Structure formats: structure tokens, C-alpha cells
Amino acid sequence: MELHEVPFEGERPVDGYGPNFFRVGGKVHEGAIAVLPGGVAAWGGFEDTETVLQAAERMDVVFVGTGAEIAHAPAGFRSALEDAGLGVEVMASPAACRTYNVLLSEGRRIGAVLLPVT
């Protein structure tokens, strides 16, 4: 089998995750994070729509990782993002990381907000 390295064109993939951390582009970030076009930032959870909305014009879809298990995103959070024109896909954080990486490798206009797996 021949393996090929996947180019990510300036953005960084989620390399790994564990109890209360994510590793993005080789750097460890503790707690909840926002992986958005242009960088990684701390994310304040579902009350923090502003972090995502600041990058809304550079994204089409945002993946919402809800931790170890899938859970509903609060209606207010979802509607704030959708009102800004974003598609919102909610899933467990491990699935959100994988999906983010695949679409990032395809050059898609995406972001992810991730609650840690505890």
C-alpha cells in the first residue's frame, strides 16, 4: 500500500485529543477550543458564539464537538450561528475532529468548536 501525506494548505489538523486537551498542528491546547480559519483559540462553550461569529465569513460549516458523547447544542447557540449563514453539524468531539480533518484536507471552508473528552 502506498501512503500519501495530506496537504492542509495553511490550516492545521487536529492531531489528537485526550482527557481535557486537544493537539492541533502539533501544539497542545487544554480545555474547550475553537479551531477556525486562521488559528486556534480557547472557546467558552455554548454561551460563546462571538468566537465563532468573528470567523463566520471565512466558513461555510462549523462542526460542534459535544465531548465524549453526542448531545444537543442549545437552540440559541445553533440559531445564532445559522442566522450568520453557517451550517452547524453537531457530533461527539472525536467524530468532529475526524470530520474536520477530512474536509480540511479537501480545502473546504470549515471550522470546529470542541468540548473536551473527559
| Structure confidence at residue 115 (pLDDT) | 98
Nearest to 14 by CA among 31, 3, 4, 27: 27
| Structure confidence at residue 4 (pLDDT) | 45
Nearest to 25 by CA among 44, 69, 36: 36
Domain count, the chain: 1
Domain extent at residue 21 = 14-115
Tell whether 5 is covered by a domain: no
DSSP string, 9-33: TTS--EEEEEBTEEEETTEEEESSE
Tell whether 7 is covered by a domain: no
Name the stretches of the chain with pLDDT < 70: 1-10
Nearest to 110 by CA among 71, 65, 56: 56
Tell whether 61 is covered by a domain: yes
* CATH number reported for the structural domain that contains residue 55 in this entry: 3.40.1230.10
Q: Name the helix (H) or strand (E) containing 104.
A: helix 93-105
pTM: 0.91
| Structure confidence at residue 7 (pLDDT) | 53
DSSP-derived letter for residue 93 is H
